[in-house]
């Protein structure tokens, strides 16, 4: 009879341990203590609305897998996906979770880019052309993500586009035109023509999504993305491209 309380204590302890283990795996508590919890079954997961492309600026997939999974010297970083030069696709963070790939920046009205986006790293040293197999694999992934997560196909940008003063990836060698040919990203369509008098290319850059805090840096990002070259001064060809893009956006394309 004397063993009874001890058995009950042990049983209670094991229940508490199980609950603690469950709590360690559970997502954040959904309830706000300010409110009365009246749960509704009519919900699903929040969805990202943007895809951000990066180059790793490293020497190998092995090195990048290490960087993206550890507290590296510059602070912990991650991405949802990493694609090797041979096209092998690695996933490091669930699509439903917030990876740490974008950092500070802005695209249109979006200021918390990590919450709003899927991050894809491409194994590339920042100076070499992107391998064919790697781009083929990226196109398959983009088709999957835009279909499954319902991310608009034009909402695919580079890291430099959202943080022009800080970043330079995926760089001028990234084949945006090839993505556009497959229906991904925003790209000029048809014949480029001069914009009407009074056209403001800065306003157009903002309409496309670019931040204007550092205008020279923004032009460098735009040149890398749309012309595969550097330079930080707008020219007439930039205005033709921007006029074309703005017309697409205004027509809902």
Binding site for Zn ion (CB under 5 A): 54, 159, 169
Contact predicate 107/168, CB 8 Å: no
Shorter beta-carbon distance to Zn ion: residue 54 or 153: 54
- Look up residue 165 and give its two tokens: 């003063």
Contact predicate 95/47, CB 8 Å: no
Alpha-carbon 218 to chain mean position: 18
Segment holding 52, helix H or strand E: strand 50-55
The Cα–Cα gap between 28 and 55 comes to: 32
Shorter beta-carbon distance to Zn ion: residue 157 or 246: 157
**Residue 154 a catalytic site member:** no
**CB of residue 75 to Zn ion, shortest distance in Å:** 14
How long, in residues, is the chain?
253
**CB of residue 170 to Zn ion, shortest distance in Å:** 8
Contact predicate 226/241, CB 8 Å: yes
| Per-residue buried b or exposed e for 26-36, using 16+ beta carbons within 10 Å of the residue's own CB | eeeeeeeeeee
- Look up residue 79 and give its two tokens: 């991405």
**CB of residue 217 to Zn ion, shortest distance in Å:** 15
Which candidate in 121, 147, 154, 250 is catalytic? Answer: 121
Please name every residue paired with 122 in a beta bridge, in sequence order, or none if there are none: 55, 83
The Cα–Cα gap between 32 and 5 comes to: 37
Residue whose entry in the numeric block shows the structure tokens 């500070």: 104
C-alpha distances in Å from residue 100, one per residue of 5, 32, 57, 113, 119: 50, 26, 16, 9, 8
**CB of residue 8 to Zn ion, shortest distance in Å:** 56
**CB of residue 45 to Zn ion, shortest distance in Å:** 25
The Cα–Cα gap between 96 and 144 comes to: 15
**CB of residue 226 to Zn ion, shortest distance in Å:** 18
Shorter beta-carbon distance to Zn ion: residue 113 or 208: 113
Shorter beta-carbon distance to Zn ion: residue 53 or 204: 53
Positions annotated as catalytic residues are 121
């Amino acid at each position: 009879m004397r063993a009874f309380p001890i058995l009950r204590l042990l049983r209670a302890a094991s229940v508490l341990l199980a609950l603690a283990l469950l709590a360690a795996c559970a997502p954040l508590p959904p309830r706000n203590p300010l409110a009365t919890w009246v749960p509704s079954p009519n919900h699903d997961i929040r969805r990202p609305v943007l895809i951000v492309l990066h180059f790793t600026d490293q020497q190998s997939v092995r090195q990048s897998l290490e960087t993206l999974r550890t507290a590296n010297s510059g602070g912990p970083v991650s991405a949802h996906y990493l694609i090797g030069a041979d096209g092998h696709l690695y996933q490091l963070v669930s699509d439903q979770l917030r990876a740490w790939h974008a950092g500070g920046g802005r695209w249109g009205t979006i200021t918390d880019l990590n919450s709003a986006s899927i991050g894809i790293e491409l194994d590339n040293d920042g100076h070499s052309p992107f391998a064919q197999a790697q781009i083929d694999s990226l196109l398959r992934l983009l088709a999957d993500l835009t279909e499954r997560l319902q991310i608009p196909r034009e909402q695919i940008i580079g890291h430099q586009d959202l943080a022009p003063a800080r970043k330079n990836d995926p760089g001028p060698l990234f084949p945006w035109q090839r993505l556009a040919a497959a229906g991904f990203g925003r790209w000029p369509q048809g014949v480029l023509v001069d914009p009407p008098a009074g056209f403001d290319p800065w306003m157009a850059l903002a309409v496309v999504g670019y931040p204007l805090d550092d205008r020279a840096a923004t032009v460098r990002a735009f040149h890398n993305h749309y012309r595969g070259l550097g330079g930080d001064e707008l020219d007439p060809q930039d205005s033709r491209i921007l006029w074309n893009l703005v017309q697409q956006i205004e027509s809902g394309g």
